[in-house]
């Protein structure tokens, strides 16, 4: 497989994951504005912060008006990382990797692009927002379905998974950092009612709300939620889960190429480090410090993969 | 009142009854409900859009992707007609390869006084670096497209040869897929010859011209100028269907005297490169030094037998419009046979008498630039305004050798499915030919292009043309 092709598949699924993440954050933010009377603007600000877009947003906008933020995230030309662009980038990558992806996968990506572009041609009215988010989530789910059902489990498939889980771990860590660092500056807030709203939001924006309730009915604690989102290997968005998958997929790659792999060794090292941690020890040593360290390791893993498999040179 | 004689319609006789080739199709068509067919036409468009069969058009703002309009009424040719056509095509393609071999070696045709040497020496398409070199298997044009038009029941004439990097074959294949999807019952009842083996045959054909340096199974790659090229869809499509890598210049480097592509496991040598890039951009060390799309140094390795380039550099001379008028002589010179397929009568404006004739008859003629392509830089006399005629007259007088002229042909029509029902439109046909050392393989049918505007003779997709599925049927 060409290095360029591996890169294309990797980025196709990074962009797709990122787009889904934005859709989910908009859904959560919108729900928040419907159910809470205060803190609405703060909520949109923290969503922008979790996406690393707050500074750029503030440079062009006065306040965190919901309609403005939603438009900024979905389609505003001033925001290069808007959802429409992400889907466009995903499709561009699919076009350059046509020789390595199945026809079903290509058509799912292309259809996703057509539908999302149609839906985002004009600013989305609030009345249409739930249906639009639903459409985006369905379309991206079809792409995942096509990948799972039709792709050979070869190097191409493994690159798609590696891109997917690196992006997912990155967005989970950013979200946790924003929520904890920005909104819970002091440990004394833990257990207060504001705190509960915030944690509910965090669970919703990571699609963890029902899963968490099944496991811990009636008990929402900062500790429990941190444990769940960082260390629980059953939850498909936790950092530990992502790294479990990353080690699997990088191992498949190394085995199929019959070579030693630096990126596999690094992923295994990070994965092993989760086993030695508890949520209590992470909170005690500082969640923010833990997350900053993790984000940097995760970025480093991405560039190791990029170099090892000759994405660009 | 005198009127123009009607054009030959391939489907319907003058009394409105179908010709033999269309008998079965016409019977089926007459039984269809037109609302249902209109729905099918929309479905076909949706199918193309969903599968991403688009070409890029660059406007002022951003790139736009367009569909080439597809018409649901097929072009049908009988096996008897096809047998004659394919014999003519094979003869012509054989002659083109012999001609290329000759002009890059002893130039017997010039010595015999059958072709003026200036046409080679002063021609940009003549690549002097090819002199004295024979490509692997002696094949110059691995892939050829011959543009034909029909003017009567038995009259197919060659309008143009495409010996560089002919495009459109993906439309031939996808048009058929679409038709089988839309109208499966037609294919159960009418025996239409299959076209879907083309990618497999292309791969086999390219594998048979592996260079001496190749060890084992030849590695084939398709070289594209990139995602922004208007034919990118086709490049990706063919690479995918052949199981070949799709590479760009920056994926390639010369490693240990081989042209190699960067894979996830290091550089891997390429044996046969199917390039969809013009000669000019292929090797900046030899051709345009500002090309960033090509591969510096590939030409030397080519000559050293370390890689095969398909089509060979310098094949463009064979489809040059100035050479075209000599094709009947070229066919006869190399095959010793009379040409089976006719040329369109052509006046070379470089010749004084011809120029005088062309200037006198401009409103009746089609004038083409010798090096133009894609329907640009062309004058269609009967459709031109006084102003356009005057402009072209000035151009002709200024640079006569840049132009050839041909009579306006009464191109055949085939109906398209329009809102108001069947409407006759002019068509051409581009069959695709694969050449390997031991055989010439012609896919039955080809790409039918149709001028969708009433009365228009210009079928190019860049000028509002559409396409049709093209059938060769076994009728006996």
Percent of chain B with pLDDT over 70: 96
Residues in chain A: 313
Six-digit token string for B98: 């012999």
Interval B431-459 mean pLDDT: 93
Give yes or no for a contact between B257 and B211, defined as CB atoms under 8 angstroms apart: no
The reported pTM is 0.90
- Among B232, B239, B251, beta carbon nearest to A4: B251
Give yes or no for a contact between B175 and B169, defined as CB atoms under 8 angstroms apart: no
- Give the gap in angstroms from C-alpha A116 to the nearest C-alpha of chain B: 13
Interval A256-269 mean pLDDT: 95
C-alpha dist (Å) from residue B207 to A221, B133, B245: 66, 20, 14
List, for residues A34-47, the tens digit of each pLDDT value: 887 777 788 899 89
Q: Is residue B373 predicted with pLDDT exceeding 80?
A: no
Q: How far apart are CA B216 and CA A27, in angstroms?
A: 56
List, for residues A90-135, the tens digit of each pLDDT value: 999 999 999 999 999 999 999 999 999 999 999 999 999 999 999 9
Query: pLDDT class for A284, splitting at 50, 70, 90?
Result: confident
- Among A99, A106, A313, beta carbon nearest to B52: A106
Chain B residues contacting A, CB < 8 Å? 49-52, 227, 232, 236-237, 239-240, 244-248, 251, 261-266
Least confident of A8-12, A26-30, A236-240, B208-212: A26-30
List, for residues A178-212, the tens digit of each pLDDT value: 877 543 445 545 555 545 677 778 888 888 888 98
Interval A159-188 mean pLDDT: 80
Provide the chain A residues 223-282 that lie in CB contact (below 8 A) with chain B: 257, 259
State which residue of chain A sits closest to B248, comparing Cα positions.
Answer: A4
Find, among B163, B180, B154, B175, the residue nearest to B81 by Cα.
Answer: B154
In a 13 Å sphere around the CA of B202, the CA atoms on its Cβ side amount to: 27
- Among A95, A114, A310, beta carbon nearest to B262: A310
Q: How far apart are CA B58 and CA A108, in angstroms?
A: 25
Q: Does the beta carbon of A152 lie under 8 angstroms from any beta carbon of chain B?
A: no
Q: What is the pLDDT at residue A113?
A: 96
CB-based burial label for B317 (10 Å; 0-12, 13-18, 19+): buried
Q: How far apart are CA B442 and CA B429, in angstroms?
A: 13
Percent of chain A with pLDDT over 90: 72
Sheet holding B266-269, edge to edge: B252-255, B258-263, B266-269
Q: How many residue pairs from chains A and B have C-beta atoms closer than 8 A? A: 60
- Among A99, A103, A257, beta carbon nearest to B245: A99
Contact B264 A6 (CB under 8 A): yes
Chain B residues with CB-CB distance to A107 below 8 A: 50-52
List, for residues B50-87, the tens digit of each pLDDT value: 888 877 666 545 556 788 899 999 999 999 999 999 99
Query: pLDDT class for A32, splitting at 50, 70, 90?
Result: confident
Interval B366-391 mean pLDDT: 81
State which residue of chain B sits closest to A98, comparing Cα positions.
Answer: B236
Interval A210-222 mean pLDDT: 81
Q: Which residue has the higher pLDDT, B47 or B86?
A: B86
Q: Which residues contact B89 (CB under 8 A, 6 or more apart)?
A: B146, B341, B431, B433, B442
Give yes or no for a contact between A105 and A147, defined as CB atoms under 8 angstroms apart: yes
**The most confident of A223-232, A300-309, B375-384, by mean pLDDT:** A300-309
Q: What is the pLDDT at residue A182?
A: 42
Q: Is residue A298 predicted with pLDDT exceeding 60?
A: yes
Give yes or no for a contact between B10 and B76, defined as CB atoms under 8 angstroms apart: yes
Interval A223-231 mean pLDDT: 89
Q: Is residue B204 predicted with pLDDT exceeding 90?
A: yes
Q: Does the beta carbon of A107 lie under 8 angstroms from any beta carbon of chain B?
A: yes
- Angle value at C-alpha B436, between B435 and B439, nearest 5 degrees: 85
Task: Tell me which DSSP letter residue B409 carries.
Answer: P
State which residue of chain A sits closest to B47, comparing Cα positions.
Answer: A107
Sheet holding B378-380, edge to edge: B347-348, B403-407, B365-369, B378-380
Interval A301-308 mean pLDDT: 97
Query: pLDDT class for A279, splitting at 50, 70, 90?
Result: confident
Q: What is the pLDDT at residue B149?
A: 96
Q: How far apart are CA B114 and CA B330, in angstroms?
A: 8
Q: How far apart are CA A268 and CA A249, in angstroms?
A: 11
List, for residues B349-360, the tens digit of each pLDDT value: 989 999 999 999
Q: How far apart are CA A123 and CA A67, in angstroms?
A: 9
State which residue of chain A sits closest to B263, comparing Cα positions.
Answer: A2
Q: Predicted ipTM?
A: 0.85
Interval B436-450 mean pLDDT: 96
Q: How far apart are CA A225 and CA A196, in angstroms?
A: 11
Q: Does the beta carbon of A2 lie under 8 angstroms from any beta carbon of chain B?
A: yes
Q: Is residue B238 predicted with pLDDT exceeding 50?
A: yes
Q: What is the pLDDT at residue B374?
A: 53
Q: What is the pLDDT at residue B1?
A: 38
Q: Does the beta carbon of A99 lie under 8 angstroms from any beta carbon of chain B?
A: yes
- Among B232, B246, B263, beta carbon nearest to A99: B246
């Amino acid at each position: 497989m060409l290095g360029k092709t591996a890169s294309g598949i990797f980025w196709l699924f990074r962009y797709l994951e990122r787009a889904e993440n934005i859709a989910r954050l908009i859904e959560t933010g919108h729900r928040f504005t419907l159910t809470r009377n205060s803190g609405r603007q703060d909520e949109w600000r923290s969503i922008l912060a979790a996406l690393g877009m707050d500074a750029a947003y503030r440079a062009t906008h006065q306040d965190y008006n919901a309609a403005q933020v939603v438009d900024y995230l979905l389609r505003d030309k001033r925001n290069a990382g808007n959802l429409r662009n992400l889907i466009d980038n995903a499709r561009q990558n699919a076009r350059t990797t046509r020789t390595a992806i199945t026809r079903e996968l290509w058509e799912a990506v292309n259809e996703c692009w057509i539908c999302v572009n149609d839906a985002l041609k004009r600013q989305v009215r609030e009345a249409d927002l739930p249906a639009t988010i639903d459409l985006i989530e369905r379309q991206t789910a079809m792409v995942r379905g096509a990948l799972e059902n039709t792709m050979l489990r070869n190097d191409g498939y493994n690159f798609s998974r590696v891109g997917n889980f690196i992006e997912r771990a990155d967005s989970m860590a950013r979200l946790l950092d924003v929520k904890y660092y920005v909104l819970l500056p002091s440990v004394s807030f833990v257990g207060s009612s504001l705190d509960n709203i915030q944690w509910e939001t965090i669970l919703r924006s990571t699609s963890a709300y029902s899963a968490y309730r099944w496991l811990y009915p009636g008990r929402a604690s900062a500790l429990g939620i941190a444990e769940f989102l960082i260390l629980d290997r059953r939850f498909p968005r936790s950092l530990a889960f992502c790294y479990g998958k990353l080690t699997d997929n990088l191992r498949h790659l190394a085995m199929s190429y019959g070579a030693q792999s630096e990126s596999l060794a690094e992923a295994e090292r990070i994965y092993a480090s989760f086993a030695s941690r508890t949520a209590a020890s992470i909170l005690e040593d500082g969640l923010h410090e833990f997350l900053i360290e993790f984000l940097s390791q995760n970025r480093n893993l991405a560039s190791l993969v990029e170099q090892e498999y000759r994405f660009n040179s | 009142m005198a009127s123009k004689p009607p054009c030959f319609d391939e489907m319907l006789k003058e009394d409105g009854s179908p010709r033999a080739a269309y008998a079965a199709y016409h019977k089926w068509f007459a039984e269809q409900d037109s609302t249902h067919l209109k729905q099918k036409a929309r479905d076909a468009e949706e199918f193309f859009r969903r599968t991403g069969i688009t070409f890029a058009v660059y406007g002022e703002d951003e790139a736009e992707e367009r569909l080439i309009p597809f018409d649901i009424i097929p072009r049908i040719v009988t096996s008897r007609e096809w047998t004659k056509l394919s014999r003519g095509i094979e003869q012509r393609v054989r002659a083109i390869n012999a001609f290329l071999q000759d002009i890059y070696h002893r130039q017997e045709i010039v010595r015999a006084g059958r072709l003026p040497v200036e046409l080679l020496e002063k021609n940009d398409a003549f690549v002097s670096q090819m002199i004295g070199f024979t490509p692997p298997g002696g094949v110059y044009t691995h892939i050829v497209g011959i543009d034909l038009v029909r003017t009567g029941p038995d009259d197919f004439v060659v309008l143009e040869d495409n010996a560089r990097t002919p495009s459109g074959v993906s439309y031939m294949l996808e048009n058929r897929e679409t038709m089988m999807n839309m109208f499966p019952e037609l294919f159960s009842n009418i025996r239409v010859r299959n076209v879907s083996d083309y990618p497999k045959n292309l791969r086999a054909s390219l594998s048979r011209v592996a260079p001496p340096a190749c060890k084992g199974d030849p590695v084939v790659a398709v070289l594209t100028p990139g995602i922004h090229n208007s034919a990118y869809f086709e490049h990706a499509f063919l690479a995918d269907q052949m199981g070949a890598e799709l590479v760009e210049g920056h994926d390639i480097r010369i490693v240990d005297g081989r042209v190699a592509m960067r894979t996830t496991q290091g550089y891997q040598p390429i044996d046969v490169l199917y390039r969809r890039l013009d000669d000019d951009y292929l090797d900046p060390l030899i051709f345009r030094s500002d090309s960033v799309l090509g591969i510096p140094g590939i030409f030397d390795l080519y000559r050293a037998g370390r890689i095969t380039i398909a089509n060979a550099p310098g094949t463009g001379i064979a489809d040059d419009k100035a050479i075209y008028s000599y094709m009947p002589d070229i066919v006869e010179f190399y095959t010793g046979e009379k040409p089976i397929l006719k040329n369109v009568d052509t006046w070379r404006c470089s010749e004084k008498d011809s120029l005088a004739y062309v200037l006198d008859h401009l409103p009746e003629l089609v004038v083409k630039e010798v090096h133009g392509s894609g329907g640009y830089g062309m004058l269609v006399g009967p459709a031109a305004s006084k102003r356009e005629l005057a402009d072209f007259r000035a151009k002709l007088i200024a640079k006569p050798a840049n132009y050839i002229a041909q009579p306006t042909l009464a191109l055949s029509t085939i109906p398209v499915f329009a809102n108001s029902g069947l409407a006759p439109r002019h068509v051409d046909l581009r069959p695709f030919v694969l050449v390997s050392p031991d055989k010439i393989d012609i896919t039955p049918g080809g790409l039918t292009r149709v001028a969708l505007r009433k009365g228009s003779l210009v079928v190019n997709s860049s000028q509002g043309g559409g396409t049709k599925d093209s059938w060769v049927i076994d009728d006996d």
